Amino acid sequence: MCGQWHEHSVAGHPCDTFRPTRMNEQGYLVIFLHGLHLGMLREQSEFTDQFEQRGLPVVAPVTQRSWWTDRICAEFDPELTAERHLLDNILPFVEQRFGSKTPRIGLLGMSMGGQGALRFAYKYPDLFPVVAAISPAIDYQSRIAEGDEVLGAMYADEEEARQDTATLHVHALNWPRHQFFCCDPVDYRWYDSSDRLRMKLSALGIPHECDLETSHGGHGFDYYNVMAARAVGFIADALERERMRVV
């Protein structure tokens, strides 16, 4: 038997949830941030199997092509940003439905959602001390010059967008205690920004784990699925370490 995915509406916006057959006893939970593919995690058995094996429930809100920013994205909501939706609506939903709250919540994201997960963790490390990002599309400002109308409406120009990227939100003295990110070295679009993030974290002496060597098809679900066990395993182990941490 395997747990089940279900569809919900949170504050008028779609949200998928996964409840494993046997829930973990510690209240650990994963919030998944989708990429431009707008979700569909339920169709990826590799991830579902990992969640099931570890007893991890999942909450996966859908925010269209918002890039998980604190900027208005009209196709998501004309008044509510994706960031505020997660903080003000999704977190209370998580606690109400599953009884989970920080620091027993891990962030997981892919591509657009990967950079979003990192940005949330860097902006709010006390809320999200555990984060894993697969193929994070960190330097998304490059898409504005290419004519991305959604991002073009959210930011005045490339520089304004660059200032809002995950790397620019890294704080030398306040960072998520458990972070993992990975990117396929043949992912020509996004690899360099992951490598720059690695170098910045290393220069600042910020603990992190990354895999910028494993290769399996570049950017897409072929690679995401290969990294499923590593990313979900990291989150599960990190949540346990966080629980056992002596404050």
| Stronger pLDDT, 3 or 129, i.e. the higher one | 129
| Per-residue model confidence as pLDDT tens digits over 85-143 | 999 999 999 999 999 999 999 999 999 999 999 999 999 999 999 999 999 999 999 99
Distance of alpha carbon 156 from alpha carbon 144, whole angstroms: 10
| Per-residue model confidence as pLDDT tens digits over 40-67 | 787 778 999 999 999 999 999 999 999 9
- Quick one: pLDDT at residue 240? 96
Mean pLDDT on 227-239: 97
* Helices and strands, number each (H, E), in the chain: 10, 8
What ranges do the domains of the chain cover? 4-244
Topology at the third CATH level for domain 4-244 = Rossmann fold (3.40.50)
pTM comes to: 0.96
- DSSP per-residue string spanning 42-99: GG-HHHHHHHHHHT--EEEE--TT-TT-SS--TTT-SS--HHHIIIIIIHHHHHHHH-
